[in-house]
Structure 1
Amino acid sequence: MKYFKIIFSLLAIALLFSSCQDDDLGLDTILVPSNLQVTTEISDDGSGEVSFQASANDALSYKYIYSDGTSAVSLGGDITKRFTSVGLNTYLVTVVAYGKGGVSSSKSIEVEVRSDFNDPETKQLLTGGSSKTWYIASAVPGHLGVGQNVNDDGPIVDGGGFFSGPPNFGPECFYDDEMTFSLNENDGILYEYKNFGVTFFNWQFTLQFGGNGEEFVDECLDFTSTETVPLSLVPASSGIDEQRSTGTVLSIADDGFISYYIGQSQYEVLSITENKMSLRAVQGNDNFLVWYLILTTSPDGTVGDGGEEEEAFVSEFTNLVFSDEFDGDDLDTDIWNYEIGNGTNGWGNGEAQFYTEDNVKVQDGNLVITARREAESGFDFTSGRITTQDNYDFTFGRVEARAKLPEGGGTWPAIWMLGANFDVVGWPETGEIDIMEWIGNNPDEISSALHFPGNSGGNPVYGTTPVQNATSVFHTYAVEWTQDNIIFLLDGDEFFTFTNDASLPFNKDFFLIMNVAMGGVFGGDIDLAFQESSMEVDYIRVYQ
């Protein structure tokens, strides 16, 4: 985290200044650390744990940089790291030894580590299968509590033995926090802590962050941290009562934390449901104290009536009949067609792009459709659009697409369907089902819509829902289409239902379309700074 880097830098500067003042040493006494040696002890129990020991002549501190994207600092050179990718994996580890004046030397080694741990149920509940934001359950008794760090003294449930906070007792900065857990393209977990500039600090840590350091006076301090850091699901090494715990620990990299700062990055998951999570964490500078947190998915701090959860949506379609996982190196043209050009009047929407084949790629397991600012055939932008017209169409079923969206004002990605008789009857008579539309000028919302005679163009029947991190993590966009209803879902949650009937054009074959438009009547003004951005699609599937 940034604040630890600052502390370390200040420490190094202080040591340098101290040397200059006390001994009046010259530059010739600033020695590059030499003879850097790194030894390891690799666990063979499947925990993924590796102990490192580094030593070097004239070194003041050491930094470990791991190929999983994390790093850590050790003053003495000893550190233990838990690698969490399941299976036997090889990691590159670079150790940097720092001497006086910030001079350094480095050494890289590889370690082969096995991790057998996996907890798909917790991962699913934590992220909702894609991305989920949690808040402090301010309306719940015991949403912050503290007790002794022993399993037989004080409850290992909501609240602790010494103090159990009543509803809404804490400061506003505590209850504004947003903690988002998301799956990345490798099915790993990302954690983003959004605190709007201030964080609730335990009093024992306030002095080092500009607070008063007074006993029992917790403070909200200026602190900005909206960076995304990797998160691991790992088994706790000790101290778990498995009768009152899931046995899983959230271990946040780079000294990250969850909302209330206690100098700790590991949180034992006591329990987790769709909308409530109870956590336990030992205070970083006091092994006697353990803190309890309750989180909820409700921004108002509640967990529903009596803690009951909403019933999850259950699809009636379970038979996979079509899919493209985009695992090859090229687009499958037996399924997909490229659409080229700008259509008539920007495909009827005043769109600013010219579609080409070059803007569509399949790479790294994803379909990538890229919009660019570049001149082509009299237009200032290029992009891509593909369809399954005349290759694959179907009537009724569930369509799912897992996608990460482009960023930038004026971008307008869409995953949608048109009636297969489009060439015969035209639009809107053929009918249009927009599974997902999103615009970069309104990045916190997606929409789904239906176009048909009487409700088309600027007058469709539509629904919207909030979406978070649409450009940085993959979300699942879906439609459940029957002769009675057309239901739209985001990450498995229903947000818009349309009643279908025999008079509407939604009772016949439709084909699939995916594209990224620029500008137009829906995309709006294009950011002058926009240069290039892509929609990435992990898969698209049809169930019947």
Structure 2
Amino acid sequence: MKNIKYTLISCLAVLFVVLGCEEEDAVFGDVIAPSNLVVTADVVGQDASNPNGDGSGVVTLSASADNAISYKFIYNGTESSAPSGTVDALFTNLGVNTYVVNVIAYGTGGVSTTTSITVDVLATYTPPQELVDKLIGDGTKVWRLKSETPGHFGLGPVGGGVVSEWYGAGPQEKVGVGMYDDRFIFGNDGTFTHITNINNEDASGTIFGRGGLVSEIGQGGTPNGDDVENVPYNDYTESFVIIAPGGVETINLGGLGFISYYTGSHSYEIFDRSVPNEIILKTTDANNDFDWWFILTSEDESSGGEFNSVFNDLVWSDEFDVDGAPDAANWTYDLGAGGWGNQESQTYTDNAENVIIEDGFLKITAKANGNSYTSARIKSEGLYDFTYGRAEIRAKLPSSVGTWPAIWMLGSDYQTNTWPACGEIDIMEQKGQDKNTVLSTVHHPAVSPGAGDSASTQLTTSTTEFHLYSVEWTAQSITFLVDNEVFHTIENSANLPFHSDFFFILNVAMGGTLGGTIDPNFTEDSMEVDYVRVYQ
């Protein structure tokens, strides 16, 4: 009914304008039809061996004309408006097919010029059913940006493999910009519906986009640096298709369709879909400046986004409920100075002043010792290791500047398969100069030494309250959580070293590459651990 209402109002408005302007001459300026309309088609993957493309069905259509201000491409039942004159068109009928593409160039005053071309395109890809089921469901599944999760929206380098590597929005950081009230529905009939404000009864809403690009689809809004917030924009429906150019699963939206933040791109690589009810997408903006990252969820906001583990059987734990030295059946020690290549300042000992269980907590204490420092590093090497599972460690961190607490795991074959080839899983680390943030990282030969696949999350009470640090480790993915909230996930592919046994390490370092400058007034500080548990 709302469309009838809008149509009636629009007609009355037009009638009013016509009647009210009878005595005035309208001035539109020169009305010039576009001329010299030229259209080209670049079939993706086309070469001498593949004259009809690589099978993805993607064709870049480009149009140019004198005196044109916008273009429309009509092909295979789809209409795509393109002010820039370029669209990535999709032709998904399997096999080699010949398609007619009609192109309209619009000039001033609405005058237009039309031409058409034909293009032969090969399409060979059928998406896996599990992906179709996850994305579409019964055709009514509703997706949203997972605004409660750190890094749900962000950017990084073009071609990067780390989610929101350069910037990741904190939980609810972008409230009020026209993003969190968007909803997305992928229909069984190949339609993509973008609801621009789920809270409005009508089709009106606002969107969020990149300055210089979002003006392609909407005017107005509030500029904020390089972004434009709350651009007025109504609900719309476009087409979508799942393709796999170069073997990479990709969602390609028709026309000017987009997800959450307008970048001028309409193609979204599926970076990770291993987490239930969640999908991580990335797209390169039309300026080729950045990759933009999006974590979407199909859970309602009322669900709280609680993580559902696939591991529920407790197979090993240390509750630290017996006072004294750590249980020798579970823990041994690394001893000595230097931090094994990290330029640390402490010497590790097994002395009670550096490591002890008291009142139900393991306490690892770093202490000033004249001009040097002592601390402890305990490990389960040779006593307990495992492959795949969920590890949970409840801990409170030291607050002193220069302390570097770490809860991590190392590949058990590290002596023969030397680091980084053995792999490293850092469940929690904290920099010495930033006590309001915690990190989770994996190290392996593709990103190390000197780097890691890492993400951080804000945790302002890390040194005053206990928090639960967890890793969910499967053959398909490694997921890091704080207090059961996911903030970092990587794909665990076959060429990574995370398919064999790892053991635990708990320590507090001083200074070094992550600890940085130590407070000159430092005397001592502790990391307290309530328990370590493993579920499989």
TM-score by length of 2: 0.43
Name the structure where helix makes up a greater proportion of residues: 1
